[in-house]
């Protein structure tokens, strides 16, 4: 039978990073859920499969080649975000040096943006666009049956010297049918994050997002929201708690509370099954109220991640965020009253930003009083409205991400200068925001008083050190 190895390669930050390296290191290392789903699907179909998280294991190139030489897979699957694409091309080169006949398959959001460019390398054989579960299984089955693999929907292939983008594959309509990720193949003890208690586990209860924020790319899962059933979700939670005994479970959905009845049912089931679980959700400030937050709190949810993005209504409107500052204030006020920890995500440097609007965001973050903030610089990623606008308005004088996909690009992608700050000042403004929020004496005292374990203290210290050492 066809043997598959799924690889999560190093996430070396290139010049396009939204964080200084020290801050990125503190942000953490997370389980590759996408590969976990692929592994689970292949295993359910009785195909031999292994998962190797090179990034989490901090594996050297030499060690990686030794490991794949020992495993001798027929197929190696790599996944990549656009930001770290060149590193994955390097991984494909290392694979072919050791296993020249191994089929190298690449997938992830990068393939949706630039399919032909991504498969143009001699060391990459096939690309998978969009959701990979059905496409990858189809590929392995055809290989096993010695059938034609050049016309599989959802793939990018090389045929007669040309790169062919095959028809798109329909999204999985019922995601309840996808088996739970193969976490047993992952080094779960190696994952860490400055704002999550270790050990932690991540999970998804939905795919897709119906909103259209200008900075967000949704090539991979699309605009159609597909949600798992409450029973399916809570059964996975039970398995997670029983197997991994995590101190925290992070639900990755962008808009967990968009379907209120589903939220209430999930909370009811957690209580009915007497499941002891601490979990986080991510959602929008306009999708919560006191009733929903009380239900979540009663079911063990203790932290909520909100995308605030800016303290300026003018910038929020430019982002097409579809929220009001008053909604953010209301959401954080009731979340704090009920006793949640909160995370507020902000972004600086969006077109139209000024030093005044950045200062408004800093002050607004303090007014919201979240437990944590996460701040990034606006980057026009491929496939976003922001990137399309940057190209059409000639803010970018060439297609950066196309050159990046071809590994021709070594320079940093253009950020957006403001009326009164330069593009090069953005990282300093980013660190100013971080430090003005986190270095407040009252904040530091509250965090020290909240410490409950040595590992938590170490995590906080590492995050603090990252802000001090950030070289900007």
DSSP string, 316-375: HHHHT----HHHHHHHHHHHHHHT-EEEEEEEE--TT--HHHHHHHHHHHHHH--SEEEE
Residue-level pLDDT at 78: 97
Residues 6+ apart with CB under 8 A from 64: 52, 54, 91, 94
The number of helices, as runs of H, and strands, as runs of E, in the chain is 19, 15
pLDDT-derived band at 259 (thresholds 50, 70, 90) equals: very high
Instruction: Supply 87's token pair.
Output: 């590193």
Q: Where are the domains of the chain?
A: 4-165, 195-378+415-469
List the single range of 66-75, 261-270, 375-384 with lowest mean pLDDT.
Answer: 375-384
List, for residues 321-367, the tens digit of each pLDDT value: 999 999 999 999 999 999 999 999 999 999 999 999 999 999 999 99
Residue-level pLDDT at 410: 66
Instruction: Supply 376's token pair.
Output: 């990034």
CATH number of 195-378+415-469: 3.80.30.20
The superfamily CATH assigns to domain 4-165 is Cobalamin-binding domain (3.40.50.280)
pLDDT-derived band at 19 (thresholds 50, 70, 90) equals: low
Residue-level pLDDT at 394: 84
Which pTM does this prediction carry? 0.92
Q: Say which DSSP state 219 is in.
A: T
- Reference 118, options 170, 80, 77, 64; nearest CA is 80
Q: For residues 130-134, give the mean pLDDT.
A: 95
Residue-level pLDDT at 112: 85
Residue 82, pLDDT > 90, answer no
Give me the chain's average pLDDT, please: 91
Query: Hey, how many other C-beta atoms are within 10 angstroms of the C-beta on 377?
Result: 19
Residue-level pLDDT at 444: 87
Residue-level pLDDT at 25: 62
pLDDT-derived band at 21 (thresholds 50, 70, 90) equals: low
pLDDT-derived band at 81 (thresholds 50, 70, 90) equals: confident
Q: Please give the residue that has the higher pLDDT: either 237 or 465.
A: 237
Residue-level pLDDT at 418: 86
pLDDT-derived band at 470 (thresholds 50, 70, 90) equals: low
pLDDT-derived band at 116 (thresholds 50, 70, 90) equals: very high
Residue-level pLDDT at 15: 47
339 dihedral zone (left: phi>0; alpha: psi -120 to 50; beta): left
Query: Hey, how many other C-beta atoms are within 10 angstroms of the C-beta on 121?
Result: 18
Residue 385, pLDDT > 50, answer yes
Residue-level pLDDT at 42: 98
Q: Which residues are 305's β-sheet partners?
A: 282, 343
Element (H, E) at 391: helix 385-392
Hey, do 4-165 and 195-378+415-469 end up sharing a CATH topology, with the first three levels equal? no
pLDDT-derived band at 455 (thresholds 50, 70, 90) equals: low
**Helical H segments across 423-472, by residue range:** 426-438, 441-449, 454-469
Residue-level pLDDT at 28: 81
Distance CA 135, CA 42 (A): 11
Q: Please give the residue that has the higher pLDDT: either 133 or 19.
A: 133
Residue 457 CA from chain centroid, whole number = 25
pLDDT-derived band at 464 (thresholds 50, 70, 90) equals: low
Residue 24, pLDDT > 70, answer no
Residue 223, pLDDT > 90, answer no
pLDDT-derived band at 463 (thresholds 50, 70, 90) equals: low
Residue-level pLDDT at 16: 46
Of all residues in the chain, the percent with pLDDT exceeding 90 is 74
Residue 148, pLDDT > 90, answer yes
Residue 406, pLDDT > 80, answer yes
Residue 18, pLDDT > 70, answer no
Residue 126, pLDDT > 90, answer yes
């Amino acid at each position: 039978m066809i043997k598959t190895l799924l690889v999560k390669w190093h996430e070396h930050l290139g010049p396009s990073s939204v964080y200084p390296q020290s801050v990125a290191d503190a942000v953490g290392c997370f389980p590759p859920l996408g590969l976990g789903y692929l592994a689970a699907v292949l295993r359910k179909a009785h195909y031999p499969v292994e998962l190797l998280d090179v990034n989490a294991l901090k594996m050297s190139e030499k060690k990686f080649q030794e490991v794949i030489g020992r495993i001798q897979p027929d197929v190696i699957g790599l996944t990549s975000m656009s930001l770290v694409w060149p590193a994955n091309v390097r991984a494909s080169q290392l694979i072919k040096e050791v296993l020249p006949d191994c089929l190298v398959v690449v997938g992830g959001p990068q393939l949706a943006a630039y399919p032909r460019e991504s498969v143009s390398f001699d060391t990459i054989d096939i690309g998978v666009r969009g959701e990979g579960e059905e496409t990858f299984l189809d590929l392995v089955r055809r290989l096993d049956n010695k059938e034609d693999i050049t016309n599989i929907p959802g793939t990018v292939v090389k045929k007669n010297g040309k790169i062919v983008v095959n028809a798109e594959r329909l999204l999985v309509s019922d995601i309840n049918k996808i088996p739970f990720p193969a976490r047993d193949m992952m080094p779960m003890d190696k994952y860490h994050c400055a704002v999550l208690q270790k050990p932690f586990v991540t999970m998804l209860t939905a795919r897709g997002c119906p909103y259209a924020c200008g900075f967000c790319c949704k090539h991979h899962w699309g605009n159609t929201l597909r949600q798992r059933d409450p029973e399916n979700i809570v059964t996975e939670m039970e398995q997670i708690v029983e197997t991994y005994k995590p101190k925290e479970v992070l639900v990755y959905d962008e808009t967990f509370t968009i379907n209120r009845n589903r939220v209430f049912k999930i909370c009811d089931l957690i209580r009915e099954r007497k499941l002891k679980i601490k979990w986080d959700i991510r959602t929008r400030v306009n999708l919560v109220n006191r009733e929903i937050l009380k239900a979540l709190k009663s079911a063990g949810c203790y932290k909520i991640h909100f995308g605030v993005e800016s303290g300026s209504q003018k910038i929020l409107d430019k982002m097409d965020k579809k929220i009001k500052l008053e909604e953010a204030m209301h959401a954080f006020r009731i979340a704090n009253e009920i006793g949640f920890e909160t995370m507020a995500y902000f972004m600086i440097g969006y077109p139209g930003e000024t030093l005044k609007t950045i200062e408004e965001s800093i002050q607004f973050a303090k007014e919201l009083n979240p437990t944590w903030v996460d701040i990034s610089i606006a980057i026009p990623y491929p496939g976003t409205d922001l990137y399309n606008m940057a190209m059409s308005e000639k803010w970018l004088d060439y297609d950066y991400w196309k050159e990046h996909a071809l590994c021709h690009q070594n320079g940093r992608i253009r950020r957006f200068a403001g009326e009164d700050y330069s593009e090069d000042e953005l990282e300093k403004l980013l660190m100013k925001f971080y430090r003005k929020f986190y270095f407040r004496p009252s904040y530091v005292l509250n965090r020290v008083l909240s410490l409950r374990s040595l590992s938590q203290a170490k995590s906080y210290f590492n995050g603090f050190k990252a802000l001090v050492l950030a070289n900007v």
